[in-house]
Structure 1
């Protein structure tokens, strides 16, 4: 009976240890991001209004897009996760959507990070954590 317990536990652990990450979603590097923005500064002041988004270069894979989604702030990597990054390519903001500037037309929601328009794209946008403290937003991935 004791050996049956060990077999069950071993089988359970092996079955649960599989990698569920999609093999097609490995274009973006896991780059450390740790930056703070002050919403009182002019370049970030439009984030004080609902449904507004801004692009911040030089962080993550292709910059960061920060969105004021009415109830909270969201941050996404500005590089298209469905193809390899290339210089000059990043997501361009249009309202609460972002479209890849590389000409492939990949469009994503800046609310949930998922591809739009009934797309067959398999990867959603890479999300970053935001902690709000007063008028400052701390953006990080750890």
Structure 2
């Protein structure tokens, strides 16, 4: 009987593990490898030290990467419109606490990535060490 309970406990622990709950399944945005670091001490990224500020880093992901200071941590999203074909839109822009798609003016929260459409923003993982932000997938 003890063996059955241990087996049930082991299986439940095994299935309760997660990978930061990031779901990046989006048919419009390919899975490009993203792996870079920025230093917030550099002038181009210094506004990331303050809550509700974001920057777009071009050259990574599909259309660049948006990094945003959410107060409780940093979020990183692909700057490609998540509900449009990749070739039909330019990179998203930042408007306050939202990212705006150039094709349909859809707005997505940079706190959650949600925008009321079928697909949310494509999210990347973020690690912070001192003033260095590491973005990867």
**Do the two structures share a fold, i.e. TM-score over 0.5?**
yes
What is residue 8 of structure 1 aligned with on the other side?
A: none
1:22 and 1:65 map into 2 onto residues whose CA distance is 15
What is residue 136 of structure 2 aligned with on the other side?
A: 140
TM-score relative to the length of structure 1: 0.76
- Alpha carbons of structure 1 residues 107 and 95: separation in structure 2 relative to 1, 3 Å: same
Instruction: Tell me how many residue pairs correspond in the alignment.
Output: 115
User: Does residue 42 of the first structure (1) align with residue 38 of the second (2)?
Assistant: no
- Runs (4+) of structure 1 moved beyond 4 Å? none
Say which SS state the counterpart of residue 62 (structure 1) adopts: coil
Preserved CA contact (<8 Å) 2:81 2:89: no
1:27 and 1:114 map into 2 onto residues whose CA distance is 16
Shift of 1:107: 1.0
Shift of 1:86: 2.1
CA RMSD of aligned residues (A): 1.8
1:60 and 1:66 map into 2 onto residues whose CA distance is 12
1:10-29 superposed matches below 5 A: 25-29=26-30
2:99 and 2:128 map into 1 onto residues whose CA distance is 23
User: Does residue 83 of the first structure (1) align with residue 84 of the second (2)?
Assistant: yes
2:132 and 2:105 map into 1 onto residues whose CA distance is 33
Shift of 1:87: 6.8
Unpaired runs of 5+ residues, structure 2, are: 1-22
Say which SS state the counterpart of residue 105 (structure 2) adopts: coil
Say which SS state the counterpart of residue 50 (structure 1) adopts: coil
Preserved CA contact (<8 Å) 2:28 2:84: yes
Preserved CA contact (<8 Å) 2:89 2:101: no
What is residue 113 of structure 1 aligned with on the other side?
A: 113
Unpaired runs of 5+ residues, structure 1, are: 1-20
Shift of 1:88: 6.1
